[in-house]
Amino acid sequence: MNKKISVLIPVVLAVAGLASGLAVKYYLDQDTGPASAPQAQSADTPYTAALNQPRYAFSLPDLENKIHAIKEWDGKVILLNFWATWCPPCRREIPSFIQLQQQYGAQGLQVIGVAIDQKEAVSDYSDGMGINYPVLVGDETALQASSAYGNRFGQLPYSVLIDRKGIVRYIRRGEFTLQDAESRIKDLL
């Protein structure tokens, strides 16, 4: 009997955690509107506070421990994606980001992945996927950056489009489809 209970408790906790996460995702996962349209800001929607504002400056190490500042990509359209290897929607959207970087990199797009995860797991996953854009890794600093871009609850994936002048033009909470990302990027190139 104790063996059954010791197996059942983690399962119940995992289901409760998943249900809570899905409830938060459902509540938060909404489109913030077109990249070019100004967004109304209110206390009820804190993520919109970052829209039409200058990008948040931060620095994080890449997979080889070289520190990169986001200002290195000034003058480019930046698709900044906060993700983790353990996040299924994050993993689903990465092939689209690889394709977008390949297709629009020469026109000034720079995808930047910010993994909130263990460096070894990120390195293994990145190598296996053939990620063709910079992947930065962090914990507390990455969470602070994500929060500064309006991700108050730490939802993953969380993507931000920044124009060539360094202004945040679009925020996507949840999975970014290839078609949606491409149409929003084209508006900024």
Written in H, E and C, the secondary structure of the chain is CHHHHHHHHHHHHHHHHHHHHHHHHHHHCCECCCCCCCCCCECCEHHHHHCCCECCCCEEEECCCCEEEHHHHCCCEEEEEEECCCCHHHHHHHHHHHHHHHHHHHHCEEEEEEECCCHHHHHHHHHHHCCCCCEEECCHHHHHHHHHCCCCCCCCCEEEEECCCCEEEEEEECCCCHHHHHHHHHHHC
pLDDT by position in tens, the chain (length 189): 555 555 545 544 444 444 444 444 444 444 433 333 333 333 334 456 789 999 999 999 999 999 999 999 999 999 999 999 999 999 999 999 999 999 999 999 999 999 999 999 999 999 999 999 999 999 899 999 999 999 989 999 999 999 999 999 999 999 999 999 999 999 999
What residue spans define the domains of the chain?
1-30, 33-188
Distance CA 93, CA 87 (A): 10
pLDDT at 4: 56
pLDDT at 67: 97
pLDDT at 31: 40
Residue 171 gets the label, from left (phi > 0), alpha (psi -120 to 50) or beta, of: beta
> Are the C-beta atoms of residues 139 and 116 closer than 8 Å to each other?
yes
* Superfamily of structural domain 33-188: Glutaredoxin (3.40.30.10)
pLDDT at 25: 43
Distance CA 136, CA 182 (A): 22
pLDDT at 47: 59
pLDDT at 49: 74
| Overall residue count recorded for the chain in this entry | 189
pTM assigned to the model: 0.76
